[in-house]
Structures are given as structure tokens and as C-alpha cells.
Amino acid sequence: MKGIAQLRGTVRHYDWGGYVFIPDMLQIENPAHQPFAECWFGVHPQATSTLIWPGGDQQSLLEYIQSDKKLLGEATARRFGNMPYLLKLLDVKDMLSIQVHPSKEAAVQDYAKENAAGIPPDAPHRNYKDDNHKPELMVAMGEFWLLHGFKPVAELKKTLGEVPELNNLLPVFGEESDYKALYRYVMEMPQQQVNQQLKPLLDRILPQYQAGQLNRSSADFWAARAALTFNHEGITDRGIFSVYLFNLVHLQKGQAIFQDAGVPHAYLEGQNVEIMASSDNVLRGGLTTKHIDVPELLKHTRCEPTEVKILDGEKEGALLRYRTPAPDFELSKITLGKDDTLTVESDTAEIFLLTEGSVSLSDGKNTIELRKGELAAAAFAGQKTKIRALEPAVVFRAGVPAN
């Protein structure tokens, strides 16, 4: 075992990404004004990470783990067979699509069905890219806005009553508060009807948005921005309905939220650190030009009121642990003052991601430094890592929860 190593991630240049946050973290120039949406750290079919050993030798993280599964620890190797999570930096400049992820059991079944049907893996209408679930946890790096699950009954009825252009949805929701019927109604609505119903709403709110009269705490703000971003060629995006049906959540720096299977959600604006099970299974529900399979979406969506649970983390000394029910990952935030130290022991393959300051990491034999531009390091099962802050620092620690 070679011990601690610097880890280089992979940048994804999606159109919705920002131009400054990730290049600044990586200490690179962006003269072409290219969008930097995500930076991935971990093992993934589309983009693995590279280990840089003390001395300069480089090696694929995927190949290194495959060479010796003991690096994962016995429990993780037995249950998952590989590093089961992906750690990311995200910079959300433009709104992301409304998404739902299947459960593990459903992903296994539906992935097998699409394989049996002979649907090519890269087909644009393919829903299931693998047989895994995709729970996600994100921690805000500053102010962050998102949609998360359906509003409670009273709040949803209030919204449908107060937005005049949505009054006709109240009878669909009904006295029984039928979330499934309401969501099915707007998702199966003929496109021409979507255009007609949302036109008076957009005619009312777009001038207000463009005049700077709406603020981010209003659904009207995001509905107007969605229309300007996603409407095209006479097609009004039906995801605008969901902006009013879902909880609008505002996170402050350090606050976190967990997206479980079946919970519809969409990131709207801000930067975060995200950890997720290693999967590409996404069912979209609007705010996108990509494929939407309504029957599959409805099959997996939890059409029920969602209690928004903002996670502030559980403090354990210098470490703040964000607990979730996901068996695939665990994320903690370590905050250290200058010259403070913390020693942690790894039961599995772990990733350390520096977001502020600089630190040295030592496994007893080798020492590496992480500063801006050199953001991540990897440690493996059985290692003890001493973290020392060279200046006040924040480090996220990703791993797998103990069984």
C-alpha cells in the first residue's frame, strides 16, 4: 500500500455551469469563458480520477482499487465491490432539470428491462444507464436555492388559490389532496394546453422579472427565469408548473439537504459540495430540453407532501458529520484553525476535498500538501491520516458509513 496521495479530478463543462468558482478553486485561467459546471472526484465510468503519489508517479484511482480490493476495506469490498460514491464540486449558474432517481430495487429491474428490450446504452430515450440508485447529499458553499419535494397540503392549496392562473388546478388536487392526480394532470397535459395555460402567467410575471421587481424567495422569480431559459419554438416548459408545486428551499453556507429516491428536486442557483451514489439514473420532469418519459417519471415519483429537512450536521470536535440513510456514502466537514491538527482513521477508500485554506496530510511515511489548485487527496482502508492546517482550513471528508 502506497499511502496518502493527491487526487486530481475531472471537470465537466455543462452549459449550466458558472465561469469563475471552479476555475478559482483549481487555480486555472478561463480565457475562453467556458462553463465549469462540475468537478468529479472518485470512480465513475465517464470520468475516473488520477492519483499523484509523492514523487510524481501517477495512476488511475479505478485501476489502483481494482488491483487490490483490500484498499476498500472488507465491508465496502463485500457490499459494493468498488468505491460506491462520487464526490463533486458544483457551480449552478443556470437552473438544472427537475429530477427523480429510482430506488435500488427499481433500478435493477428497470435497467434489466431496457437491456432486454435492446435499447442502446447511449440512446437519448434510454432512462436507466445502470442498475444502481442515486441518493444525493449536498452542502451549500454559500447561498443556494433549490426545489425539493411537494409542498405540504395547506401550503399547496394556498399557492393554487393565490396564483390566479393556477386556480383550475385546485379541483384536480381536490378535497382528498391527491398529489398523484395533480402531478399526472400537469405532466400529461397536451403541449398546446400547457402553452395556453401558462401564457397569461408568464405575460404577467416576465415583465416584473425583467424589471428586477421579483426576488428569489418568490416562485414567480424562478418561473420567469425558467421560461427565459427553457421555452423555445412555441413550446412552454411544463416544469414551470412544478416551480409552484414544489418546496422552494434556501440554504445558507454549511447547510445540507439529502435527496432520497423518488423525491423530485432541481438545483436552481449556487455552489455546493455534493456526494452521491455512483449512478447516472435520472428521470426528468421539466426545465430541460432532454427526454422526458412521463410514465416512468410518475412510476418513481413520491407524490406526497415532503417535509424539508435541512441538515446542520452533528458536531464531533473539529468534525461536522452530515448523516443520511444512504449506505453508499458519508460526508463530514472538518474545520481547523492555523496549526490545529486532527488524526482520522480510514475504514475504506476515502477522499479529502479542500475548499478553504491549506493543509498538510501525513500517513506517517509520506506527507502531501493541499492548497488552492491541489484540492483533493485519497486515503485507503487501514490508514491513519494526520491533518494539519497550514492556515485556517475547511476540508470535506468522504467515505462509507460503518456497518
In this structure, are strands 85-92 and 38-42 parallel, antiparallel, or unpaired? antiparallel
The C-alpha cell of 338 is what? 492555523
Go through 169-181 and write b for each residue having 16 or more CB atoms within 10 A of its CB, e for each that does not. Answer: beeebeeebebee
Task: Tell me how far apart the alpha carbons of residues 14 and 386 are, in angstroms, rounded to a whole number.
Answer: 36
Whose grid coordinates read 439537504? 257
Q: Which of 317, 367, 320 is nearest to 340 (CA)?
A: 317
For residue 276, which phi and psi values (nearest 5 degrees)?
Answer: -145, 155
Asked if residue 47 lies in contact with residue 2, where contact means CB atoms within 8 angstroms, the answer is no
Q: Is 284 among the catalytic positions?
A: yes
Active-site residue identified among 184, 225, 284, 397: 284
- With 0-12 / 13-18 / 19 or more C-beta atoms within 10 angstroms meaning exposed / middle / buried, residue 47 is middle
Which residues touch 343 (CB under 8 Å, ≥6 apart)?
384, 385, 386, 387
Q: Which residues are catalytic?
A: 284
